[in-house]
Homo-oligomer: A and B are copies of this chain.
Amino acid sequence: MAQKETVERILDAAEVLFAERGFAETSLRTITSAAGVNLAAVNYHFGSKKSLIQAVFVRFLDPLVDEIERQLNQLQAEKERLTVEDLLQVLTSSVYEIHGRGSNRATSFMRLLGLAYTQSQAHLRKFIGERYGNAFQHYASHLKPALPGATAADLFWHTHFALGTAIFTMSNFDALRAMSENDTGERTPVDFIVSRLTAFMAAGLHNAAHE
């Protein structure tokens, strides 16, 4: 019980701090002092900083991929062929379902996902690829029938274009919203941004089938 509490406190603090600053820029000293635990606790419970980083990802990715899988199966039971819009909807509603609509954790999560791609943490990309590669392949396999004209190369590239759009937007979410507020004088609601984002991605993806 005391153990579990310490582990959870470390994960909570690490998740927020990593999302704010990145991995290399967040020291174990910062994490442990924010969590109110001893510096040695991270190495005791997780073994290393790398393992801690991986544990942060497991804690939010495991439930998320389960939820995505669940929604995919449910939707497939209702209709035989899923549309691009269906598939994008599954992603957003899964994130909402797991982390709560508009919560800080949802944006933290997207920012971490962005960092996983862009920061040089080879161990992390390897780990994520090994643990979640199958789930990603399964999700991507639904895109093929949804975009009938597309070749395999089209699918690969357009999928990653869309992934990039989402990851970039979400991982710079706060900075972009601040810029937008500065430009237009209005604070854009999260739902507006998400719906525009998915529309942008859907338009780009559909473009794959038309060439």
Give A residues with C-beta under 8 Å from B: 21-22, 24-25, 114-115, 117-120, 125, 152-154, 156-158, 160-165, 167-169, 171-172, 175-176, 179-180, 183-184, 186, 188, 192-193, 196-197, 199-204, 206-208, 211
Contact = CB atoms under 8 A, between A and B. Distances in A.
A199 B193 contact: no
Contacts of A199: 207, 211
Contacts of A203: 203-204, 206-207
A153 B183 CA distance: 9
A115 B120 CA distance: 10
A183 B156 contact: yes
Contact of A164 (B156, B158, B172, B202): B172
A3 to B, nearest CB: 32
A184 B152 CA distance: 7
